[in-house]
Amino acid sequence: MDIPQPPQDTELRNIIDKLAQFVARNGPDFEQMTKNKQKGNTKFQFLFGGEFYNYYQYKVQTEQASMNGSSQNGNWNQCMQSMDETEIEQLTQQQEVLREQIKQSEQNLNAQHTVLLQQQQAQVENLVTKCEMAELQREAEASELPLDELYAILQPIIDSCTKDSISNGKSWILQHSSTKLQTLCIAHCLLYKVMHNSSTFPQKLHVIYLVNDVLHHCARKNATELKDALASVVVPMFCNASIGATDEQKNKLDKLLRLWESKANYLATETVEQMRQPVASYQQFKTDQVSKFASEVAPLAQQTKATYDGYQAQHQAFVCHAMAQILELQQQVQNIEAQIQSQPPPPITSNIPKSSPVMNTNIIPLDALQANLQQTMAQQSTNENGSQVQHLGMNPPNPDLVPSESPNFLPPMNPSVPPPLMSQNNLDVPQFSQPPPGFFPPPGLFPDFSKPPPGFAPPPEPVHEDLLPSVPYYDLPAGLMVPLIKVHNNLIFLLSLS
Task: Supply the pLDDT for residue 467.
Answer: 59
List, in order, residues 6 or more apart from 359 with CB less than 8 Å away.
Answer: 445
Tell me, rounded to whole angstroms, the distance of Cα 302 from its chain centroid: 46
Q: Return per-residue pLDDT of the chain as tens, 498 residues.
A: 567 888 888 888 888 898 888 888 888 888 888 888 888 888 888 888 778 888 888 888 888 888 776 445 555 556 566 777 888 888 899 999 999 999 999 999 999 999 999 999 899 988 988 998 899 999 999 989 998 999 999 999 998 889 899 999 999 999 998 899 999 999 999 999 888 767 899 999 999 999 999 999 898 888 888 999 999 999 999 999 999 899 999 999 999 999 888 887 788 889 989 999 999 999 999 999 899 889 988 998 899 999 999 999 999 999 999 999 999 999 988 888 888 777 665 555 444 444 444 444 444 454 554 565 566 556 655 555 544 434 434 444 454 544 444 444 445 555 555 555 544 444 555 566 666 666 555 565 556 666 666 666 666 665 555 556 676 666 666 655 656 655 555 555 556 665
Tell me if the pTM is above 0.85.
Answer: no
User: What are residue 71's phi and psi, to 5 degrees?
Assistant: -75, 155
Q: How far apart are CA 375 and CA 417, in angstroms?
A: 9
- Break the chain into its structural domains and give their ranges: 10-51, 121-294
Please, what is the end-to-end C-alpha distance for the chain in angstroms?
110
The domain defined by 121-294 folds into 1.25.40
List, in order, residues 6 or more apart from 159 with CB less than 8 Å away.
Answer: 203
Q: How far apart are CA 283 and CA 79, in angstroms?
A: 71
Q: Is 177 exposed, middle or buried (0-12, 13-18, 19+ CB in 10 A)?
A: buried
Q: Return the number of other C-beta atoms located less than 10 Å from residue 449's C-beta.
A: 7
Task: Supply the pLDDT for residue 361.
Answer: 43
List, in order, residues 6 or more apart from 396 with CB less than 8 Å away.
Answer: 390
Q: Which three-class secondary structure state does DSSP give residue 182?
A: helix
What is the signed CA dihedral for 278, 282, 283, 286, rounded to 10 degrees?
180
List, in order, residues 6 or more apart from 368 with CB less than 8 Å away.
Answer: none
Long-range contacts of the stretch 46-51 (C-beta < 8 A, 24+) = 46/16, 51/7
3-state helix, strand, coil in the chain (%, to 5): 65, 0, 35
The candidate with the shortest Cα–Cα distance to 6, out of 62, 55, 79, is 55
Q: How far apart are CA 188 and CA 135, in angstroms?
A: 9
Q: How far apart are CA 268 and CA 247, in angstroms?
A: 26
Q: What is the DSSP string of 307-340?
A: HHHHHHHHHHHHHHHHHHHHHHHHHHHHHHHHHH
